[in-house]
Amino acid sequence: MAYFGPSPQFLAEYTARNAELEKKLTDEQLQYVRHRYRMNKYASSMEIRQIVTQLYIDDSEFYIDLMEWFSHRRSIEYENEQYRYQLARIAA
């Protein structure tokens, strides 16, 4: 079973999209979002809405961007985990 890791295009696209959102945030806001992500990677839409409210951002587009940010982070982490698992299997 050949596995060559996550698609570079996939990782680059999702990383770029997340970077765009992160540029909109101050350092404190970004730290808060990352903390909330570590606490709950599968945040519901209500939890995302609470985060947006806590950041004092009243923008529905930002809400959607933040939902995508959570989703992209999970996807990137999953791909990296799969890649590490496959490398370990190949090395064994």
- Provide mean pLDDT across the span 13-28: 92
Name the pTM for this structure: 0.79
Yes or no: say if 45 and 27 are a contact pair by the CB < 8 Å rule: no
Domain boundaries, the chain: 8-91
The class that CATH gives domain 8-91 is: mainly alpha
Over residues 12-39, mean pLDDT:
93
Buried b (16+ CB within 10 A) or exposed e, 18-46: beebeeebeeebeeebeebbeeeeebeee
Using the predicted structure, report yes or no on whether residue 6 has a pLDDT greater than 70.
no
pLDDT at 71 over 70: yes
Residue 1: band (very low, low, confident or very high) from pLDDT cuts 50, 70, 90: very low
pLDDT in tens, 38-66: 999 999 999 999 999 999 888 889 999 99
